[in-house]
Amino acid sequence: MNGGNELEKKVKIAVMVSGGGTNLQAILDAEKSGILRSGKVSLVLSNKASAYALERAKNAQVETAVILRKDYASQREYEDAMIDLFTQKGIDLIVLAGFMNILSSHFTDTYPKRIINVHPSLIPAFCGEGFYGLRVHRAALDYGVKVTGATVHFVNEIPDGGEIIAQKAVEILPGDTPEILQRRVMEQAEWILLPQALETVSKSYC
């Protein structure tokens, strides 16, 4: 425990991404502005070589890595490659920020209460296997709910089933499309909630 003493070591964070990386950007911006001060993004790992999130990491001088599922014979070997990398880099905390791959209990049990995910709905609505990205917002609009939002939670072996850390509600408005709603949920919830939750969890591991 360092009681927030900035001279002491920060928690080393790895962010796992698959796409645009706007949540990664929110975390990097939070580090710059001081909202995130107990942790430091040390590594960005993508399961897609073309993910724009990798550019965002490079622009922020953060080390990047790409590990592709297809390069491994089994899910276990794929996950072991990621675990080996995180061990080698001394990673303390992992953030799934738009990481579009389900991780098995082999991976999640290696990091109890040390993996955080952001999901674009109010869990337990519109979550679990098959609910990711725009699909979540399409499902919310199809159902006709009037309020949605975002959830930050710890990751366990159940997709979107780990302990909830923080949630924020966002209104659904007439004329919303999945794209419009996705943007509003990001702006009003995800990009605020994720860095704040990350600071809270990082602080608890300092």
Q: Which residues contribute to the site for ligand GAR (CB under 6 A)?
A: 17, 19-23, 53, 97-98, 118-120, 132-133, 136, 186, 190
Q: Which residue, 102 or 206, has its beta carbon nearer to ligand GAR? A: 102
Report the nearest approach of ligand GAR to the CB of residue 93 (Å). 17
Q: Which residue, 83 or 102, has its beta carbon nearer to ligand GAR? A: 102
Pairing of strands 115-119, 93-96: parallel
Helices and strands (H, E) in the chain, number of each type: 7, 7
Dig out the tokens for 156 from the structure: 């366990």
Are the C-beta atoms of residues 125 and 96 closer than 8 Å to each other? no
Report the nearest approach of ligand GAR to the CB of residue 48 (Å). 10
Question: What whole-number distance in Å separates Cα of residue 165 and Cα of residue 153?
Answer: 5
Are the C-beta atoms of residues 140 and 122 closer than 8 Å to each other? no
Dig out the tokens for 172 from the structure: 């659904």
Report the nearest approach of ligand GAR to the CB of residue 40 (Å). 19
Q: Which residue, 93 or 152, has its beta carbon nearer to ligand GAR? A: 152
Q: Which residue, 59 or 87, has its beta carbon nearer to ligand GAR? A: 59
Of the residues 106, 119, 137, 153, only one is catalytic, namely: 119
Report the nearest approach of ligand GAR to the CB of residue 99 (Å). 7
* 119 in active site: yes
Backbone angles phi, psi at 89, to 5 degrees: -90, 0
Active site positions, annotated: 119
